[in-house]
């Protein structure tokens, strides 16, 4: 594996990008079908948990998913936010607290090392964050920890980059088709810029691997919500 960015380097990059990630429409433009995936996750949570009490958002960024989930409703949900970037956390709290009567708390750091209460959360949201995990063991340990944090009947909701298990398909869907998508957002130099920081920062795994990690951790039902090119959203439910 090529030398990857440290957590400190990732933190520094996101510290400088708060404004872009505070926009519901354009904040995640590099994710294919970003708006659809956000709608699928937030609408499903609202309907499945009408009495939502505790939310955990890891790698929350500027809080877009929580804003989308909570806006337009009378909410009393408590929200715990975890992110490497303090400016992102500050912006997320500023945007989310007016949307709920519950308490919004920010936790700066790597979620895998932050002490959070077990059996506490109705839902955990993890969007564009797990791809920063490095080894298979890191993935497995992280998912096991998240499973323990959920209440019985709670669920995790993931939207993230995936890698194709077949190298030929990876070339077609990632290099060719995702590359064309990125060029269409701006130009070829933007595509190359995004590819460069993916190579430097990210360590995605196949969708099968990611969903298998949930099953091995104990999630009784694991479901695919959406997949397009090298991005997918899925969820897992902890037994009652």
pLDDT band at 6 (very low <50, low <70, confident <90, very high): confident
Of the ranges 72-76, 114-118, 192-196, which one carries the lowest mean pLDDT score?
72-76
What's the pLDDT score for residue 56? 98
18-50: b or e for each residue (b if 16 or more CB lie within 10 Å)? beebbebeebbebbbbbeebbebbbebbbeebe
pLDDT at 15: 53
Instruction: Compute the mean pLDDT over every residue in the chain, rounded to the nearest whole number.
Output: 91
Residue 16: predicted pLDDT:
62
Q: Choose the weakest-confidence range: 6-10, 62-66, 184-188.
A: 6-10
Q: Is the pLDDT of residue 5 over 50?
A: yes
Domains, the chain: 7-164+204-237 (3.40.50.150)
Q: How high is the pLDDT of residue 10?
A: 66
Which is more confident, 123 or 7? 123
CA–CA separation, 41 vs 50, rounded Å? 14
Rounded mean pLDDT, 45-70: 95
pLDDT band at 73 (very low <50, low <70, confident <90, very high): confident
The pLDDT confidence band at residue 197, using thresholds 50, 70 and 90, is confident
**pLDDT for position 163:** 96
Q: Tell whether pTM > 0.85.
A: yes
**Pairwise pLDDT comparison (29 vs 20), residue with the higher score:** 29
pLDDT at 24 over 90: no
Stretch 126-149: mean pLDDT: 94
């Amino acid at each position: 594996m090529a030398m990857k960015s440290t957590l400190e380097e990732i933190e520094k990059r996101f510290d400088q990008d708060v404004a872009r990630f505070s926009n519901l429409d354009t904040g995640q433009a590099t994710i294919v079908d970003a708006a659809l995936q956000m709608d699928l996750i937030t609408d499903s949570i609202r309907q499945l948990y009408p009495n939502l009490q505790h939310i955990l958002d890891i790698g929350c960024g500027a809080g877009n998913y929580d804003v989308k989930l909570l806006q337009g409703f009378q909410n009393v949900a408590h929200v715990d936010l975890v992110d490497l970037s303090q400016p992102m956390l500050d912006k997320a709290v500023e945007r989310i607290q007016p949307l709920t009567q519950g308490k919004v708390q920010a936790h700066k750091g790597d979620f895998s090392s932050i002490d959070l209460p077990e059996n506490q959360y109705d839902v955990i949201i993890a969007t564009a964050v797990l791809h920063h995990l490095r080894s298979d063991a890191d993935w497995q340990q992280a998912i096991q920890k998240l499973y323990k944090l959920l209440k019985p009947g709670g669920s995790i909701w993931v939207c993230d980059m995936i890698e194709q298990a077949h190298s030929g398909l990876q070339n077609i869907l990632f290099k060719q088709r995702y590359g064309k998508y990125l060029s269409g957002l701006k130009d070829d130099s933007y595509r190359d810029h995004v590819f460069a920081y993916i190579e430097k920062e990210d360590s995605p795994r196949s969708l099968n691997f990611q969903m298998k990690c949930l099953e091995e951790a104990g999630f009784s039902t694991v479901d695919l919500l959406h997949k397009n090119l090298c991005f997918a959203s899925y969820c897992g439910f902890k037994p009652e």
